A and B are shown apart, each in its own frame.
Chain A
């Protein structure tokens, strides 16, 4: 029912899966910044190539990633159209009333669309190849210096891992509730806007009630098992940084240098 791929973890065995979450997090962070260096065909092609290489190395199916991206295509399309008509400069390709499409506008909007897609693909790849636990462990480890400033890094990481962990559960729950209410004649997909909004109430109420109940149960289960916060807590999975992680960071730096060289 839901083709949401973002936030889902697919356990496979690949180079990308085996990387240290810290190197993946840093790389994605850097990549998202680097993307903004791309401003001509060659630099954009480089970004796309990097993404393709990442997908290949992760053993993910292109069709799977494509299907996951379908839901964000509409956003990409809107930004594309906005830019198409708003950017100016270059020769006019065609006009329609007061709207003009120029070569510059066309290129700019294509670049921006590529930029958004590339960012989404890379972050999706991160969550597809890294389990929520790894991501939060990596985050916590990277943010450790902030603990000195009395920042609740551990609590923040815990909150994040719990929310990530429960995204699929919540989706599953939503699906079950939609089924149950549809069986009672509730209709989410047709009728006037008003009746559709009204049909959301029978969906949201059980969803919230269930979420609160689960939160209570979880808190109780954690306390019952002796959870007492950060102090003296050890990790089940130790993070280990290998030469592959160094290689990945080197690749990112190399990419950045290349972009700086060939951009306009």
Chain B
């Protein structure tokens, strides 16, 4: 499902003293089957932007197209439920959505809302809890006894169980340890590749944005500043610095190395292996390493 924003503006608290223009005339395109990362300084409108994709927020002006669904400003009743079945959303704070007595029941909540039978929902729930790596002895416990990271996994399972075609992740790895982060991101990468899911991820981690996505959108002050392949985006070091963003550590390292040897260029390298290759190239060393 292609996602297109056309001149979308979102104003919070319109006509109150707290009025805040969080999105300003945003036009972007997220192709079907892509893995798109959205980065930007805190308060730049990332969450506001992605919450338009499943109709949680309505635009104050402009138009959003998601597959066959069209959301316009000033339109009252829309078939949002059908849209939300197709577009799953993992929120920034998972503790806001857990409520059932047991974890497995909580994961079933989504699918059953969309008309899946209890038996089928339970089957999907078990499958998805397995996928997110939550030990099965926890499944029949209360979700409130879990740690923050485990809650996040349950929340993710709850979204996967609906079997959406688009998944939106708002800082999905907040509260996870490095191992857990790797696991969860690999899971989404795998779903993306295996089932051709469209993934939109908001993140503060430049390395994650660089490593996992094929498109990066940089938000600044409610506007998209740049959009493109991670290699292209992260080469614009000065632009990123200006809006308070960093580049992946591997690139930072290479930049300093290039500085030391007196070369003026940037090499986009996001994984340790790519960085190692680049180092060898810069230093003009061994050709056939492993």
Interface residues of A (CB under 8 A from B): 10, 12, 61, 63-64, 67, 173, 176-177, 179-187, 201-202, 205-206, 209-210
Q: A184-B159, A186-B113, A209-B144 are in contact. Are A176 and B96 (CB under 8 A)?
A: yes
Are A63 and B15 in contact (CB-based, < 8 A)? yes
Are A64 and B98 in contact (CB-based, < 8 A)? no
Are A64 and B15 in contact (CB-based, < 8 A)? yes
Q: Can you name the residue of chain B whose Cβ is closest to the Cβ of A203?
A: B99
Q: Which residues of B contact A187 (CB under 8 A)?
A: 81, 113
Q: Which residues of A contact B51 (CB under 8 A)?
A: 179
Are A184 and B97 in contact (CB-based, < 8 A)? yes
Tell me the chain B residues, 1-48 only, with Cβ under 8 Å from chain A. 15-17
Are A206 and B98 in contact (CB-based, < 8 A)? yes
Complex Cα gap A197–B198 (Å): 34
Q: Can you name the residue of chain B whose Cβ is closest to the Cβ of A213?
A: B95
Q: Which residues of A contact B144 (CB under 8 A)?
A: 209
Tell me the chain B residues, 43-84 only, with Cβ under 8 Å from chain A. 51, 54, 56, 80-81, 84
Are A183 and B91 in contact (CB-based, < 8 A)? yes
Are A206 and B56 in contact (CB-based, < 8 A)? no
Are A176 and B93 in contact (CB-based, < 8 A)? yes
Q: Which residues of B contact A201 (CB under 8 A)?
A: 99
Complex Cα gap A198–B98 (Å): 15
Residue among B16, B80, B93, B113 making CB contact with A184, cutoff 8 Å: B113
Complex Cα gap A179–B93 (Å): 11
- A66 nearest CB across to chain B (Å): 10
Q: A64-B17, A179-B91, A209-B144 are in contact. Are A185 and B99 (CB under 8 A)?
A: no
Chain A residues touching B, majority SS: helix
Complex Cα gap A179–B52 (Å): 11
Asked if B85 is at the interface (CB within 8 A of a chain A CB), the reply is yes
Are B85 and A185 in contact (CB-based, < 8 A)? yes
Q: A177-B96, A179-B51, A206-B96 are in contact. Are A184 and B162 (CB under 8 A)?
A: yes
Complex Cα gap A187–B109 (Å): 12
Complex Cα gap A61–B15 (Å): 10
Determine which residue in A12, A176, A177, A184 has the highest number of CB atoms from chain B within 10 A of its CB, and name it. Answer: A184
Asked if B248 is at the interface (CB within 8 A of a chain A CB), the reply is no
Q: Which residues of B contact A181 (CB under 8 A)?
A: 97
Complex Cα gap A202–B54 (Å): 19
- B68 nearest CB across to chain A (Å): 18
Are A10 and B17 in contact (CB-based, < 8 A)? yes
Complex Cα gap A180–B95 (Å): 10
Determine which residue in A63, A179, A185, A206 has the highest number of CB atoms from chain B within 10 A of its CB, and name it. Answer: A185
Asked if B139 is at the interface (CB within 8 A of a chain A CB), the reply is no
Tell me the chain B residues, 88-135 only, with Cβ under 8 Å from chain A. 88-89, 91, 93, 95-99, 109-110, 113-114
Complex Cα gap A12–B16 (Å): 13
Complex Cα gap A187–B114 (Å): 10
Complex Cα gap A181–B96 (Å): 8
Are A177 and B81 in contact (CB-based, < 8 A)? no
Are A180 and B96 in contact (CB-based, < 8 A)? yes
Asked if B268 is at the interface (CB within 8 A of a chain A CB), the reply is no
Q: List 21 A-B contacts (CB under 8 A).
A: A10-B17, A63-B15, A64-B15, A173-B96, A179-B91, A182-B84, A183-B54, A183-B84, A183-B88, A183-B89, A184-B84, A184-B97, A184-B109, A184-B110, A184-B159, A187-B113, A201-B99, A202-B97, A202-B109, A206-B99, A209-B99
A-B pairs, top 10 by smallest CB distance, nearest first, are A185-B113, A205-B99, A180-B97, A183-B89, A184-B110, A180-B96, A202-B99, A177-B96, A179-B56, A185-B114
> Known pairs A176-B96, A183-B91. 4 more at Cβ < 8 A?
A180-B91, A181-B97, A206-B95, A206-B98
Complex Cα gap A179–B96 (Å): 9
Asked if B158 is at the interface (CB within 8 A of a chain A CB), the reply is yes
Q: Which residues of A contact B97 (CB under 8 A)?
A: 177, 180-181, 184, 202, 206
Q: Which residues of B contact A10 (CB under 8 A)?
A: 17
